């Protein structure tokens, strides 16, 4: 198939990256094989969306990114304004109005013969590419089939802190294959105590008797999750952020997943059992609508200067 004529002949039209102190077309961005971000998963990152030309909750993403770097003893020698400026410029050069914007801090490269992580020079990378959907909008309307993994548990938080956004996805990927084998479209992992945690790139909510339930621990504190909790409070919905035993999942009338990459994504069956009438539930759809409406709300948006 031939490519459609490029609407934009700019070298950045497929995305723009910031690597080694330069802006480059995303397809040309390269990092060293010796960077411990690659060889040791010694990295943290964050992803913020641009929707209709505006960053959504950029401050919350930068706060989380800064907290994560601090936790990992990383220092980029770049302040928040500097990071923000690079993200803006990546989006500006790409010209994208809807974009998936990633910022990455790696441990960097060792000195010759060195191994001590505190001696490395930490590196910052960033890129803006077209917006990514974990679940495409038409599939969201139909709803996802969620499997709760039986053979895979989430890496314990005493080993890898899930509140520090990380590349330790071995458990999540293994769970995704398990879900596929069991006829599901996606997966959520339990922890070692049998409580629900999260899935590959998203948090989980159940709706039980009109109230929201989402795990309090063992998960990334998603910005979309937080937005849903904020919107729920504004709409007078009760939300419980507390341990969520897998054994309680059968009580759910509705369920949904939340992520920067896709928003509020309805779930219509869990472990093969339909939820409600098997279509996306009313509270889910109400929150999904308000989530997207909030992308025009000035308190949560930062326009890109194209
Ligand atoms: C493991 C995990 N949980 C949850 C989320 C959702 O977080 P957010 O809503 O900030 O995108 C992500 C996002 O990538 C993730 O990787």
User: 198 in ligand 1 pocket by Cβ < 6 Å?
Assistant: yes
Task: For residue 38, give the CATH number of its domain.
Answer: 3.30.470.10
User: 258 in ligand 1 pocket by Cβ < 6 Å?
Assistant: yes
- Picking from 107, 130, 153, the residue at the C-terminal end of a domain is 130
Do 246 and 196 contact (CB within 8 A), yes or no? yes
pLDDT at residue 265 greater than cutoff 50:
yes
* 104 and 53, same domain (yes or no): yes
Do 50 and 156 contact (CB within 8 A), yes or no? no
User: 262 in ligand 1 pocket by Cβ < 6 Å?
Assistant: no
pLDDT at residue 99 greater than cutoff 70:
yes
Does the residue 301 lie in any domain? Answer: no
pLDDT at residue 172 greater than cutoff 50:
yes
pLDDT given for residue 6 in this prediction:
43
- Which ligand 1 atom sits nearest the alpha carbon of residue 172? 1
pLDDT given for residue 8 in this prediction:
66
Domain count, the chain: 2
Give tens-digit pLDDT for 143-166. Answer: 999 999 999 999 999 999 999 999
Does the residue 162 lie in any domain? Answer: yes
Does the residue 66 lie in any domain? Answer: yes
Mean pLDDT of 292-300: 98
Burial 64-73 (b: 16+ CB within 10 A, else e): bbbbbbeebe
* 76 and 161, same domain (yes or no): no
Bigger pLDDT: 110 vs 78: 78
The per-residue pLDDT of the chain, averaged, comes to 96
Does the residue 304 lie in any domain? Answer: no
- Which ligand 1 atom sits nearest the alpha carbon of residue 200? 1
pLDDT at residue 139 greater than cutoff 70:
yes
* 97 and 230, same domain (yes or no): no
Distance from the CA of 5 to the center of ligand 1, in angstroms? 34
pLDDT given for residue 113 in this prediction:
84
* 123 and 146, same domain (yes or no): no
Type and span of the H or E element at 54 = strand 54-56
- Pocket perturbation via mutation, ligand 1, pick of 170, 201, 214, 230 by most ligand atoms within 8 A of CB: 201
Mean pLDDT of 108-134: 94
- Which ligand 1 atom sits nearest the alpha carbon of residue 203? 4
Does the residue 83 lie in any domain? Answer: yes
* 228 and 276, same domain (yes or no): yes
**Which contacts (CB < 8 Å, 24+ apart) does range 77-81 have?**
77/122, 78/124
- Of all protein residues, the one whose alpha carbon is nearest to atom 8 of ligand 1 is 222
pLDDT given for residue 115 in this prediction:
87
- Pocket perturbation via mutation, ligand 1, pick of 259, 261, 287, 294 by most ligand atoms within 8 A of CB: 259
pLDDT given for residue 112 in this prediction:
85
User: 224 in ligand 1 pocket by Cβ < 6 Å?
Assistant: yes
pLDDT given for residue 1 in this prediction:
36
Q: What percent of the chain has pLDDT over 90?
A: 94
Give tens-digit pLDDT for 56-79. Answer: 999 999 999 999 999 999 999 999
Give tens-digit pLDDT for 221-257. Answer: 999 999 999 999 999 999 999 999 999 999 999 999 9
* 151 and 107, same domain (yes or no): no
pLDDT given for residue 54 in this prediction:
98
- Which ligand 1 atom sits nearest the alpha carbon of residue 47? 11
pLDDT at residue 171 greater than cutoff 60:
yes
- Picking from 84, 102, 130, the residue at the C-terminal end of a domain is 130
Task: For residue 175, give the CATH number of its domain.
Answer: 3.20.10.10
Does the residue 266 lie in any domain? Answer: yes
User: 223 in ligand 1 pocket by Cβ < 6 Å?
Assistant: yes
* 101 and 195, same domain (yes or no): no
Q: What percent of the chain has pLDDT over 70?
A: 97
Does the residue 224 lie in any domain? Answer: yes
pLDDT at residue 183 greater than cutoff 70:
yes
Distance from the CA of 31 to the center of ligand 1, in angstroms? 24
User: 284 in ligand 1 pocket by Cβ < 6 Å?
Assistant: no
Mean pLDDT of 135-147: 97
pLDDT at residue 7 greater than cutoff 60:
no
pLDDT at residue 9 greater than cutoff 80:
no
Residue 162's domain comprises 137-296
Of 165, 99, 87, the closest CA to residue 132 belongs to 99
Of 105, 101, 115, 117, the closest CA to residue 47 belongs to 101
pLDDT at residue 173 greater than cutoff 70:
yes
Distance from the CA of 2 to the center of ligand 1, in angstroms? 35
**Which contacts (CB < 8 Å, 24+ apart) does range 223-230 have?**
223/48, 223/57, 223/60, 223/61, 223/64, 223/260, 224/258, 224/259, 224/260, 224/263, 224/264, 224/291, 225/258, 226/60, 227/57, 227/258, 227/291, 227/294, 227/300, 228/258, 228/264, 228/287, 228/291
Using DSSP bridges, classify how beta strands 144-148 and 263-270 pair: parallel, antiparallel or unpaired.
parallel
């Amino acid at each position: 198939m031939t490519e459609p004529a490029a609407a934009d002949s700019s070298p950045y039209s497929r995305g723009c990256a910031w690597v080694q102190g330069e802006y480059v077309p995303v397809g040309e961005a390269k990092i060293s094989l010796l960077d411990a971000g690659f060889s040791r998963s010694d990295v943290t990152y964050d992803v913020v969306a641009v929707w209709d030309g505006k960053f959504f909750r950029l401050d919350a993403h930068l706060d989380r990114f800064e907290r994560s770097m601090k936790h990992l003893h990383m220092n980029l020698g770049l302040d928040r304004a500097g990071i923000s400026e690079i993200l803006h410029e990546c989006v500006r050069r790409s010209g994208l109005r809807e974009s998936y914007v990633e910022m990455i801090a790696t441990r960097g490269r060792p000195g010759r013969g060195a191994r001590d992580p505190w001696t490395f020079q930490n590196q910052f990378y960033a890129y803006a590419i077209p917006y990514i959907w974990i679940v495409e909008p038409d599939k969201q309307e139909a709803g996802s089939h969620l499997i709760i993994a039986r053979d895979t548990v989430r890496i314990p938080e005493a080993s890898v802190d899930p509140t520090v956004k990380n590349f330790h996805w071995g458990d999540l990927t293994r769970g995704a294959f398990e879900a596929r084998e069991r006829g599901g479209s996606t997966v959520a992992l339990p922890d070692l105590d049998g409580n629900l945690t999260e899935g590959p790139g998203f948090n989980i909510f159940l709706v039980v008797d009109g109230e929201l339930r989402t795990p309090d621990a063992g998960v990334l504190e998603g910005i979309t999750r937080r937005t849903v909790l904020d919107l729920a409070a504004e709409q007078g919905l009760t939300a419980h952020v507390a341990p969520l035993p897998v054994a309680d999942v059968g009580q759910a009338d509705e369920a949904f997943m939340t992520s920067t990459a896709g928003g509020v994504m309805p779930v219509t069956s869990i472990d093969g059992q339909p939820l409600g009438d098997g279509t996306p539930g009313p509270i889910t759809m109400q929150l999904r609508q308000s989530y997207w409406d909030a992308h025009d709300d000035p308190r949560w948006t930062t326009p890109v200067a194209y």
